[in-house]
Structure 1
Amino acid sequence: ALLLLDASIVGASAVTLATSYAFGDIFGVRQSLNRRIGEARTFYGSFTAMVALAAGLVLIPGAPLGIITTAVQVLAGILLPSATVFALLLCNDAEVLGPWINKPWLNVVAVLIVGVLLALSVFLVLTTVFPSINVEVLAIVLAVFVLAGTAASGAWGLQEQKRLSGRRVMSREERVNWRMPALALLQRPKWSPVRRVAIVTLSGYLVFAILMLIVRAVQLAIAR
């Protein structure tokens, strides 16, 4: 019981604080525990609202806490692997990381890892929403997609290697002394048509998966 209480306190504080910081970044408002409440009202307000909402949900008599917990875990399985896609894009942004961007071979490895994570995410969503689905066929289809994506990434990596071979290589001292420009000076990244289609597809998958998860959770709650 003590371990469960400790985990609940850590989870409630970590998730809500991280979300409050994210709200502050999105809306461009002050956010920090070092600021007073009057200086960061949005930050403390969102933090308090989320804690109160979570506590109120748990205290509802007869609330299907088991289903809610499972749904939250599935939601994490949907969102967290998708976030690695944006981390990979960031690792290839030369304006942000300069000489420290991923090398082509490292991108191939990263694409394989991200592909496996996304495939597991899709597998988790489909088997949760559609329990009667043929898991063997689904696993084979997802494996084919992952391998195809990795092969395409490898071909792209070879092209990038050839394109970058003609550039001047920074010295070790230049790499060590390189600094990222201020955020206000960074330009909006330009997406290629392929990248734009991929992001739109990923966004559509996230919306579909979350909606299906909500529908399934409601069905299970009603059937109790």
Structure 2
Amino acid sequence: MARRPNIVLVHGAWADGSSWSAVIERLQADGYTVTAPQFPESELAGDVARLREVLGRQGGPTLVVGHSYGGQIVTALGTDAPNVVGLVYVAAFGLDEGETIGKLLEQGPLGAALTHLDVDEQGFAWLPEDDFVNHFAADVDPVRARVMFAVQQPLALSALDEVMGVPAWKSHPAWFLVADGDQAIPPEAQRLFAARMKATTVEVASNHVAMVSHPDDVLRLIASAVHAVQ
């Protein structure tokens, strides 16, 4: 049997590596080697460089999974993605060349989770507690959601204007979990991303942080990707 790929999990904005905890536990129980690093989210180039460092440590084929802005990081690997054998998007951005997150969000009503961004003096955007608990993580237990709020990783507002280069999904097979109740990235946009990249797609009745509220669905999608790339 072909070697199982390593799994690298890329968190998004206003989350951190711990947001993958339930998925990590399940993957490790199934015998996978899993890495879920922290990303500064101060600039896309720095986040991609961090991901490349992590990929360089894998020592074998690797499946990369991105959530939310983590999909932007994964996509920006472009054609230079050492060890990567597949891409999995979980309620994530999957832009095409020349696009920006900001221009995409301008095309429709802003999701309820993002309507009151609190931008600090250094230009980092934070989510207020009410928006985080009731919209960003709406289907997560409120006690858990408030913990996530406390450890949120803010996003540099300038990231919304970062222009995508050649996307990694043009040269790698992709899988996509659409969160059909998402209040951060519109589900319609997620469906567009998935269709353009010809991704194997599943839809889940979930809010934005599906890996927290629906870890078994995320695990099944990752497992199907593993089976395909083997």
State the TM-score, normalized to the length of structure 1.
0.25
More strand by share: 2
More helix by share: 1
Larger relative contact order (C-alpha < 8 A, sep ≥ 6)?
2
The structure number with the bigger radius of gyration is 1
